Structure formats: C-alpha cells, structure tokens
Amino acid sequence: MYQIQTLNKISPIGLAQLGDQYQVADTCENPDAILVRSAVMHEMEFGSNLLAIARAGAGVNNIPLDRCAEEGIVVFNTPGANANGVKELVFAGMLLASRDIVGGIEWVQSIKGEETISKMVEKGKSKFAGTEIKGKKLGIIGLGAIGGPLGNAALHLGMDVYGCDPYISVDAAWKLSRSIRHVETREEIFRQCDFITLHTPLVENDDPNINTKKMINAETISMMKDGVVILNFARDLLVDDEAMEAALKSGKVRKYVTDFPNAKTANMEGCIAIPHLGASTEEAEDNCAVMAANELSEYLENGNICNSVNFPNATMNACGTKVCVLHKNVKNLIASLTTAISGAGLNIENMVNASRKDYAYTMIDVTGGALAEEVVEYMKKIDGVIRIRVIG
C-alpha cells in the first residue's frame, strides 16, 4: 500500500486515477509520495520513505528541487495540462487591454442607481472606446504548450502572428501553423509587434540570448512601437517592474497585463493585474491532477520517469527484476553497478541510462535468479549512488 499525502486540494478526478493500492490523506507521517499545487515546501523535512513529489501544475518554485535531488526524491510537474486555460486568459487579457472594459463596468456600477442610466450610457460610452485586435501584429516569445496553440488561434482572429523560440521542440514545431512568421531573435518581435506576450521559463544566464530574467526592461522597451501592449502570463520576473512603470507613465507601453500581481504592479496605473488565474479553470485543475497522479503511479509501480524537473526522463519495460538507481552523473558508476550484478551470477537483459546535468538515472533489467539483498546493499555503497529501488 502506497501512502500519498496531499498538501492542497487535489481534483477528485485526478485522485481517482490511483488504484486500490494507494491510500491518500492530507496528513501522513512518512508518505511514499506527495501531491501538491501551491503549498510552499522549502522548509519541510522529508521522511525516509518519500520517493516522489508531483506538482499539479507547471511551475515548481515552491519545491526545493536541489535538496530533493540530493535525497533521491524525483519531482514531477504537469507541462501542458493547463495550457488551454492560460491560452484563453491571454486572449481575455488582449481584449481587456484593447478596450476599457473594466473601466466601463466600474462606471456602470457607479451610476446604477440613476433613473436615466440608459441615456447616460449612450452619452458617456465613448470614454471607454478602444481598438480591435484583428489586423494587429502579435509577437509570441516561447512557442511551447501555450505559445504555439495561442499563435494558431490568433491567426483565426485575423491577427498577424510572429513567433520566436530558439529551443522549440520538433513536436511543437509540427503543430505550428505555417502562417506564423518564425523570427530568429526577440528584437525582431520587440520592433515589429503591437502585442507582445511572454511564454518562456525564467532563465538566469550571462548570455543575453539565453537569459530571460527581466528581458522586458528599459532597453528592450525602447525598441518597441509606441503604444505596445505587453502580456505576461509566464513568470513574474520576466519583466522589470521599474522600467514598466516608467514606460506606462510615458505612454510608450499602452497597457501591461500580468497574471502575477505584486506590491508594485497592483498599484501601477496602466497595469491590468489578474490574480494568477491562468490555470484556474475546472478543466485545467482536473487535467493537472490526472497527469500528476499518473506520473506518480508510473514511477512508484514501474520506476519510469516522465516529466521530471530534477532527474532525467527514462522508461523501460522489464521482463525480470528492475533495478532502479538514482545517482550522480559521474564516471565508472554504471560499470560498478553492472559488475556487482554480473558478479552475483545474474544476467543483465536490458539497461537504460539517462542524465540531466549533475544527476542520472539507470534502470537495469535483471534475469537469471533473485537479486540478493547483500548485492543491493553493496550497490547502495557505490560512490555517487543516491537511492536504489528494486521492482518485481
């Protein structure tokens, strides 16, 4: 029986993916796995049984990834599960920025007690007039699970779409419409587009072509068209708030729409701050929970890793006993593992190894007899081995 702890409310549809061999509770002394959404885990102490953490969502800044890797805890997220919910909210953001819908609604509420409200509306509505998005140039930085479908949908609304993503996957590229203009650099988008929307991870790097932290700053804003609209539904720190405030005051930026309010943006005139609603749909929460639950069960039961953020992805079907080893990405470690197994008179039927920066994962399919406990204990002591599990 696997013990699963939930740190937030997780969709019942997701939990239903877990079979009878799972016991789920919001309190658990030493769980085998944790399901989490937004709960901050940096100060948590993890029990010896904890094998995995699954975040029902994309961002994992609430989880101590490095510490988990050192302790042999695989962390999963659910990329793409909430993509449609975010995509739809981006369109809402574009419309809110193009037409003063919020101001108009607030004005109607302020005069709702007037008997002549109908006449007042017809006379005063011109104050809230705006522009259409049809025919405007939309620049998308990041063409992944959200940016790609967003671009395809924007074409159907009559927008001229530009996209930039030097790391686009083959799968994502195949799904892009040919009508999206793929540009090589962000600067091309900055200079040409009426709307600019951000869909990249937060990356801190000395190379300005790789770094995304505060990539919207005074210098890059100066390249943009006057009256540009900037939308940020990806990461708070992609935008320099000080530079954005100055650009809004000068009129260089018409509107800034962000899904990440803070003390600065919430009080910034010209900023439409939405309370992190990108993935807050019933469908997105269900999709994320289903994906997270399936990732956990596949790892706990079969040792397969898919969508991990701190260890490499790796899958293998085994006909015998599967030895799963989380380890440092160092020389000669795999040779030591295979020597220990063959030295015990066992056969290695198949093996999969994958690495991710400092860490690696190896699965070995062992046949020809039972794997003795003393062999497993010997392998645990090999320098660089973090955790070993034997399945089957």
CATH number at residue 287: 3.40.50.720
> Three-state SS across the chain?
CEEEEECCCCCHHHHCCCCCCEEEECCCCCCCEEEECCCCCCCCCCCCCCCEEEECCCCCCCCCHHHHHHCCCEEECCCCCCHHHHHHHHHHHHHHHHCCHHHHHHHHHHCCCCCCHHHHHHHHHHHHCCCCCCCCEEEEECCCCCHHHHHHHHHHCCCEEEEECCCCCHHHHHCCCCCCEECCCHHHHHHHCCEEEECCCCCCCCCCCCCCCCCECHHHHHCCCCCEEEEECCCHHHECHHHHHHHHHHCCEEEEEECCCCCCHHHCCCEEECCCCCCCCHHHHHHHHHHHHHHHHHHHHHCCECCECCCCCECCCCCCEEEEEEEECCCCHHHHHHHHHHHCCCEEEEEEEEEECCEEEEEEEEECCCCCHHHHHHHHCCCCEEEEEEEC
Give the pLDDT of residue 279. 87
- Whether the CB-CB separation of 161 and 151 falls below 8 Å is answered with yes
Q: Residue 97 domain-assigned?
A: yes
Q: Residue 170 domain-assigned?
A: yes
**Number of compact structural domains in the chain:** 3
In a structure prediction context, what are the per-residue pLDDT tens digits for the chain, which is 392 residues long?
999 999 999 999 999 999 999 999 999 999 999 999 989 999 999 999 999 999 999 889 899 999 999 999 999 999 999 999 999 999 999 999 999 999 999 999 999 999 999 999 999 999 999 999 999 999 999 999 999 999 999 999 999 999 999 989 898 999 999 999 999 999 999 999 999 999 998 889 888 878 999 999 999 999 999 999 999 999 999 999 999 999 999 999 999 999 999 999 999 999 999 999 998 999 999 999 999 999 999 999 999 999 999 999 999 999 999 999 999 999 999 999 999 999 999 999 999 999 999 999 999 999 999 999 999 999 999 999 999 999 99
Give the pLDDT of residue 58. 85
Q: Residue 112 domain-assigned?
A: no
Give the tokens for residue 310.
């701190």
Q: Tell me: do 180 and 265 sit in the same domain.
A: yes
Distance (Å, rounded) from C-alpha 236 to C-alpha 297? 32
Q: Tell me: do 299 and 334 sit in the same domain.
A: no
Give the pLDDT of residue 42. 97
Give the pLDDT of residue 60. 93
Q: Tell me: do 348 and 380 sit in the same domain.
A: yes
- Whether the CB-CB separation of 55 and 252 falls below 8 Å is answered with no
Give the pLDDT of residue 240. 98
In 3D, which of 194, 242, 185 has the Cα closest to residue 216?
242
Q: Tell me: do 305 and 319 sit in the same domain.
A: no
Q: Tell me: do 55 and 176 sit in the same domain.
A: no
Q: Tell me: do 87 and 203 sit in the same domain.
A: yes
Give the pLDDT of residue 209. 79
Give the tokens for residue 246.
């100055």
Q: Which domain holds residue 169?
A: 83-102+131-273
Give the pLDDT of residue 362. 98
